[in-house]
Every structure is written in structure tokens, then in C-alpha cells.
């Protein structure tokens, strides 16, 4: 399957990492699997884990602590853009039978494909850095473990979660990840049952504006943490693993409708959690003599809202690190398979992407700052995922009747160009500051 095509088979086999074989929903009986749309939901919730990872926590907490409600509008805009991009990725997988990396790689010469893979691999490393560091911070908060040991434990647990996908199948994996998403949502939103933000300040945060270079840096971090490149690559493979490659007709139309619902529901959850992170920091950290860090947020919540809410916050962070680390590894394997046309043992892949994060932890670099900077790196990888996706899904020869509506294509190009320009501005402001 070096070209990423889905083989026709009535037997579903699970492999350690993403597989582009025929998915659960269509493997037994197409008629049975299409009876209930709710049964078909799930892939978008796995992808949504990428939108509530520890990098999001760091970027949102830093934004709320330093600028209060100022950048709330960035979360709202980024979440809406992410929903569009995730749907296009899923649609590409369902219609073409190829993941985004496989579809991109098929149109590139080998040297260009290798260069493209290098930037995608850097994105995977930045992703894993956020996940591992975030999990390590949570374990230090909860159990007072050294950061390096916490990072190692997070990496090992992520491998165990991937083993669930390998041994128990895609649907069980989706349910486990969705359960962790629920834990994350409860952990980060629990404080609102104790202390709510002023409505006027929240509405004021929806007005687009910046306040200096640091606010632009944090906006780029929020964007990079929300429109995640590896989630864009991954969603096309997730729907293939779950639904296979449906033939054109009623079956595909239903799956596309269900996928839209799946994306909307997942992004509403992810967007609400992201907004909650920023609001919690704005309420509890702003105007306080506390470091704008995840540990600072925990301390402030513990002081103002009590130990129970603080522990829930830390548990949400831990669930975020564990779930997002396994999902990131899943995406990395799919990217490598699609672009290099080869499989690499998952343990080797984990070592490649985990080691930089462990080095960061070992040398004592500020973990929250490392998380924010990792999200900025991710924002530079977004155009390499979004622009090819828009081009592919607007290609009538490839997509047929499921080609993007012209308005969708225009919005997609605008998203990619806007993110690219934001990155250029970010570089200029950082250099001249």
C-alpha cells in the first residue's frame, strides 16, 4: 500500500499505527454500519485531542495571565478555521481513499517528497515536545515526580494507548481517547462552577486586536496549537481506518454528512475547553504576582478555588498529555508511511520524536516556555498542510462531484495565506523587538 490506496478486503486487520485498510464501519456490512449515524461518529474526536493538548494549555494560560481576555477572539477564530480544515482533510480521505500525506507524496518527485517529509517530521517533534513536557508537568504537580521521569512515563503510557488501537481495534481506541477528552473537558472547566468571568470582559475579548509583540507571539502560539498540522494530516487517515473508501453514491454522501456533524461536535468541545483555559487564567492569574506558567495556574487555582478544583485541573492536564502523545505518534506513523512509503517500528519512531523533549526536560529549560515555543513552530508547519489540502480538495479530476464549493476554496486559500503572513509578521516583530 505504498501509494496509500485502500485494499478491498472483508477482513479487518489492525496494525501498530495507522492503517489505510478498510475500516470498522464498512468491514462487516455496509448496510448494518449505516443504520445509525451516531455509531459512525468518532474520528473527529480523536483528532480533536490535538486541539486540547498541553501546548494549548501553555499558550492559553500564558495569554490569559498576561493579557486577560484580550486574545479570546483568537481562540474563536482559530477553532472555526480548524473545523473547516479538519472537514476538508476527512473528505479527502473518504473520497480519494488516500491520506493527505499519501495524496501529497504521490504528486511529488522523490527529492521534493523527502524535503516535505523533513518539515513534517519537525512538526511531529514539536508536537511530541508539547505532549511529553505537558504530561511531565502534570505528574510533577500531582505526584512531585522529577520532570525527566514524568516525561519518560508519559512516553511509555502513550505507547500503551497505541497498543489498544493495535490489539482492540479502531473503535475501542476512539472510545478510550474520547473518554480522555471528557476528562480533559471536566478538568479544565470545573472552576466555572466556583467562579465565573464577568460577561462584559468576555464579550470585550471577542473584539480582534493585539497589544505589542508578545501578544502577537501568543496569538501565533494559539493558532499553532489550534490548527495543528499533524491533526490535519491525521484526520484523512482516521476516517480511512474507520470507514474505508466508500464508493460514490448514497453511502459516501451519508458518511460525508456524518463527518460534518462529527467535526462540528468535536470542535465545539475543543473550542469550549480552549476558551475555558484562557478564562481560568484570566480570572485567577491576571494582576497577580504569579509566574504565567502552568504551575502558576495550578497554584493560583489552588489558592483561590480550593484543592479539589486544582487537582481536577492537574488531572485534565495529565489526560491531555497522555492522550495527545498517543494521537501524535499515530499521526507521525501515518505521515512517514504516506511520504516515505515505508513503515518504521513504533518504538523507533517514539525515540526519534520523544528524545528532544526529554533533552529539554533534562537541561532544565523553562517547561511552559518550551510548550509555547513548540506551538509557534507548529504554526510554521500549518501552510505546508493546509495549502496542499485546499489544492487537492478543489481538484475536480481528483474529487469529482465532491470538489470544494468555490467559496470553500477561497476561504481555504485565505486561511493558508493568512497564517503564512502572520508567521512573517511574527518573525519581523521578534527580530526587531
pLDDT at 11: 29
- List of residues 6+ apart from 379 with CB closer than 8 A: 220, 221, 223, 224, 227, 419, 422, 423, 426
Interior/surface letters 76-91, b for 16+ CB within 10 angstroms, e for the rest: bbbbebbbbbbbbbbb
pLDDT at 14: 32
Residue 132 and residue 354 in contact, taking contact as beta carbons nearer than 8 Å: yes
Give the Å distances, CA to CA, from 65 to 61, 293, 298, 332: 6, 8, 12, 32
CATH 1.20.1740.10 fits 43-378, yes or no: yes
pLDDT tens, N- to C-terminus, the chain (433 residues): 334 333 333 323 333 334 444 444 444 444 444 445 666 778 999 998 888 888 788 788 888 888 999 999 999 998 998 899 999 999 999 999 999 999 999 988 888 998 999 888 888 888 888 889 889 999 999 999 999 999 999 989 988 888 887 777 778 888 898 899 999 999 988 887 788 888 999 999 999 998 887 888 788 778 766 778 888 999 999 999 888 888 888 889 989 999 999 999 999 999 999 999 899 888 887 766 555 678 878 888 888 888 999 999 999 999 998 998 888 888 888 888 888 877 777 777 777 778 888 998 999 888 877 877 776 777 788 889 999 999 999 999 999 999 999 999 999 898 888 877 776 776 676 556 5
Burial of 192 (0-12, 13-18, 19+ CB in 10 A): middle
Q: Which value, in Å, is the radius of gyration of the alpha carbons in the chain?
A: 20
pLDDT at 289: 59
Residue 299 and residue 130 in contact, taking contact as beta carbons nearer than 8 Å: no
Phi-psi region of 244 (alpha: psi -120 to 50; beta: other; left: phi over 0): left
Domain regions of the chain by residue span: 43-378
pLDDT at 7: 37
Phi-psi region of 90 (alpha: psi -120 to 50; beta: other; left: phi over 0): alpha
Burial of 405 (0-12, 13-18, 19+ CB in 10 A): exposed
- What distance in Å separates the CA atoms of residue 151 and residue 351, rounded to the nearest whole number? 12
- What distance in Å separates the CA atoms of residue 166 and residue 162, rounded to the nearest whole number? 6
3-state SS assignment for residue 50: helix
pLDDT at 74: 93
Residue 251 and residue 52 in contact, taking contact as beta carbons nearer than 8 Å: no
pLDDT at 141: 92
Q: Which helix (H) or strand (E) holds 242?
A: helix 229-243
Residue 118 and residue 111 in contact, taking contact as beta carbons nearer than 8 Å: no
pLDDT at 40: 72
pLDDT at 25: 44
Nearest CA among 39, 18, 101 for reference residue 338: 101
DSSP one-letter code for 8? P
pLDDT at 166: 74
pLDDT at 93: 95
Interior/surface letters 320-349, b for 16+ CB within 10 angstroms, e for the rest: bbbbbbbbbbbbbbbbbbbbbbeeeebeeb
- What distance in Å separates the CA atoms of residue 263 and residue 93, rounded to the nearest whole number? 14
- What distance in Å separates the CA atoms of residue 12 and residue 9, rounded to the nearest whole number? 7
Amino acid at each position: 500500500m505504498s501509494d496509500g490506496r485502500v485494499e478491498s478486503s472483508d477482513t479487518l486487520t489492525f496494525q501498530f499505527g495507522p492503517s489505510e485498510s478498510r475500516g470498522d464501519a464498512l468491514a462487516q456490512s455496509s448496510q448494518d454500519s449505516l443504520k445509525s449515524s451516531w455509531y459512525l461518529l468518532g474520528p473527529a474526536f480523536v483528532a480533536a485531542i490535538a486541539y486540547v493538548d498541553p501546548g494549548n494549555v501553555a499558550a492559553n494560560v500564558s495569554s490569559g495571565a498576561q493579557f486577560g481576555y484580550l486574545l479570546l477572539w483568537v481562540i474563536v477564530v482559530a477553532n472555526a478555521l480548524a473545523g473547516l480544515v479538519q472537514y476538508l482533510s476527512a473528505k479527502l480521505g473518504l473520497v480519494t481513499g488516500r491520506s493527505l500525506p499519501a495524496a501529497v507524496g504521490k504528486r511529488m518527485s522523490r527529492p521534493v517528497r523527502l524535503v516535505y517529509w523533513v518539515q513534517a517530521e519537525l512538526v511531529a517533534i514539536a508536537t511530541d515536545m508539547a505532549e511529553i513536557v505537558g504530561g511531565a508537568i502534570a505528574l510533577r504537580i500531582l505526584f512531585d515526580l522529577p520532570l525527566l521521569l514524568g516525561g519518560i512515563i508519559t512516553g511509555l503510557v502513550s505507547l500503551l494507548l497505541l497498543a489498544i488501537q493495535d490489539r482492540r481495534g479502531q473503535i475501542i481506541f476512539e472510545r478510550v481517547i474520547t473518554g480522555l477528552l471528557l476528562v480533559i473537558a471536566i478538568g479544565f472547566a470545573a472552576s466555572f462552577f466556583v467562579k465565573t468571568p464577568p460577561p462584559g470582559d468576555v464579550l470585550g475579548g471577542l473584539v480582534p486586536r493585539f497589544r505589542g509583540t508578545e501578544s502577537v507571539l501568543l496569538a501565533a502560539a494559539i493558532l499553532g496549537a489550534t490548527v495543528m498540522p499533524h491533526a490535519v494530516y491525521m484526520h484523512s487517515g482516521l476516517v480511512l481506518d474507520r470507514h474505508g473508501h466508500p464508493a460514490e453514491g448514497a453511502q459516501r454522501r451519508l458518511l460525508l454528512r456524518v463527518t460534518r456533524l462529527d467535526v462540528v461536535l468535536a470542535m465545539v468541545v475543543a473550542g469550549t475547553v480552549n476558551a475555558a483555559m484562557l478564562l481560568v487564567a484570566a480570572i485567577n492569574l491576571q494582576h497577580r504576582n504569579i509566574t504565567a506558567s502552568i504551575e502558576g495556574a495550578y497554584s493560583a487555582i489552588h489558592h483561590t478555588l480550593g484543592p479539589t478544583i486544582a487537582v481536577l485541573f492537574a488531572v485534565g492536564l495529565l489526560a491531555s498529555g497522555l492522550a495527545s502523545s498517543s494521537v501524535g505518534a499515530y499521526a507521525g506513523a501515518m505521515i512517514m508511511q504516506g511520504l516515505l512509503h515505508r513503515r518504521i517500528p513504533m518504538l523507533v519512531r517514539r525515540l526519534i520524536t520523544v528524545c528532544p523533549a526529554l533533552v529539554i526536560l533534562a537541561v532544565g529549560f523553562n517547561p511552559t516556555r518550551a510548550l509555547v515555543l513548540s506551538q509557534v513552530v507548529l504554526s510554521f508547519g500549518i501552510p505546508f498542510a493546509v495549502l496542499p489540502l485546499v489544492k487537492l480538495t478543489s481538484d475536480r479530476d481528483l474529487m469529482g462531484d465532491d470538489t470544494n464549493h468555490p467559496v470553500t476554496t477561497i476561504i481555504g486559500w485565505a486561511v493558508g495565506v493568512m497564517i503564512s503572513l502572520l508567521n512573517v509578521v511574527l518573525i519581523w516583530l521578534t527580530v526587531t523587538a
